Amino acid sequence: DADDLLFQARQDSDDFNRWQAIQTLATHDLIRLAGEARTGKELKADARLVEAFGETLLNEDLDPAFRALALQLPSEADLARDIGSNVDPDAIHQARAVLRAAIGSENAGAFRAALGAKPEGSFSPDADAAGKRALANQALAYYAASGASDVDDLVMSAFTEADNMTDRIAALTLLVHDDLEAAGQALEIFRKRHEATSLAMDKWFIVQATAPLTDGLEKVKALTAHPLFDFSNPNRVRSLVHAFATGNATQFARQDGLGFEFVADNVLVIDQRNAQVASRLLTCFRSWRAYEPDRSKLAEAALLKISSAEALSRDTRDIVDRCLQ
């Protein structure tokens, strides 16, 4: 029960048990919050869980890398799988935002202090330094959720002062996903600095494709016309269209069905160029029956649109038929 799990999260001598306990508690509370979100009820995170997250952060006896991992909330995709049926991505996203904000607000001072966990001196790829960077980036994400007045400046400073791609992408993701004021400026700085490096620009597209913003779909559509995007480049397609479909549930599974339509239309376009990339993209519809009824009908309509196409490759035909079985 919850009391046993809280005790394990605080006291267990095995780190895996600690991690599993706090993740199980977070999953249970997030599912509860998602259910309440669908009823319009005011959402309030479990105070004991919020306290446990704060204690994990402050426990200096625990390895920084472990603390960073333990502080990571279950993903929206994981929660959808645990719920299993009648899934509402908007409710899941709202629940996760509420818990993240509660943890950040209640432990704002500790997270602010933990920003100093980053290793000093020149960059080192060793495990100890990587763990400290991970903890500092996790702390920055929670501090950003607290809504403190200096969040915008802190996150932008973290972006501009980063001496490695891990920290730079972590800060850029926060700026874009939290829709902070300097997001556009940071995206432009990153593009100008890395536009000649394909892997870096793939990350640039992924950050934008997975941003859970109300106009996220419109921004992704605009990016398909960007000079650096090319439908004949499989990595670029995966970094934008596939990342959108698999990593941005609130926009892919929009209530109006436009996210499903966008991906279906792109499957048909890409299928003419690269059947393997198109068929892999199409697998994002595998769980369409798990959505709540209205979304399920819209997802099915998008699949039927693909299925009715005359010149469909064998690979894509196989996947769409399996999805509709």
What integer is the mean pLDDT of 177-183?
96
Tokens of 208: 């934008």
Residue 162 forms part of a structural domain: no
What confidence tens digit (pLDDT) does each residue in 48-76 have? 999 999 999 999 999 999 999 999 999 99
Query: CA–CA distance from 42 to each of 37, 45, 157 (Å)?
Result: 7, 10, 35
Residue 18 forms part of a structural domain: yes
pLDDT at 140: 96
Residue 6 forms part of a structural domain: yes
Residue 178 forms part of a structural domain: no
Question: What SS3 state is found at 67?
Answer: helix
Tokens of 59: 């426990």
Question: 99 near 29, Cβ under 8 Å?
Answer: yes
Integer Cα distance of 315 and 27 in angstroms? 36
DSSP class of 156: H
* pTM greater than 0.75: yes
Do 96 and 207 sit in the same domain of this protein? Answer: no
Do 72 and 206 sit in the same domain of this protein? Answer: no
- Give phi and psi for 111, each to the nearest 5: -65, -40
Do 114 and 201 sit in the same domain of this protein? Answer: no
CATH of the domain at 119: 1.25.50.10
Residue 167 forms part of a structural domain: no
What integer is the mean pLDDT of 179-188?
97
Residue 47 forms part of a structural domain: yes
Do 127 and 206 sit in the same domain of this protein? Answer: no
For the cut 90, the answer to whether the pLDDT of residue 122 exceeds it is: no
Do 139 and 77 sit in the same domain of this protein? Answer: yes
Integer Cα distance of 109 and 48 in angstroms? 18
Do 128 and 243 sit in the same domain of this protein? Answer: no
Do 297 and 219 sit in the same domain of this protein? Answer: yes
Q: How many CB atoms within 10 Å of residue 55?
A: 16
Integer Cα distance of 151 and 144 in angstroms? 5
Question: 269 near 254, Cβ under 8 Å?
Answer: no
Please give the radius of gyration of the chain, using alpha carbons only, rounded to the nearest integer: 21
Do 313 and 248 sit in the same domain of this protein? Answer: yes
What is the per-residue DSSP string for 193-238? HHTT-HHHHHHHHHHHHT---TTHHHHHHHHTTSTT--TT-HHHHI
Tokens of 238: 């995966």
- Give phi and psi for 15, each to the nearest 5: -60, -35
**Facing residues of 291 across strands?**
87
Domain that holds residue 29: 1-148
- How many domains is the chain partitioned into structurally? 2
For the cut 90, the answer to whether the pLDDT of residue 121 exceeds it is: no
Amino acid (one-letter) located at 41: K
What is the per-residue DSSP string for 96-155? HHHHHHHHHHHTHHHHHHHGGGSPPSS---SHHHHHHHHHHHHHHHHHHHTT-TTHHHHH
What confidence tens digit (pLDDT) does each residue in 123-164 have? 888 999 999 999 999 999 999 999 999 999 999 999 999 999
Q: Which residues contact 11 (CB under 8 A, 6 or more apart)?
A: none
Do 43 and 124 sit in the same domain of this protein? Answer: yes
pLDDT at 116: 85
What confidence tens digit (pLDDT) does each residue in 88-119 have? 999 999 999 999 999 999 999 999 999 988 88
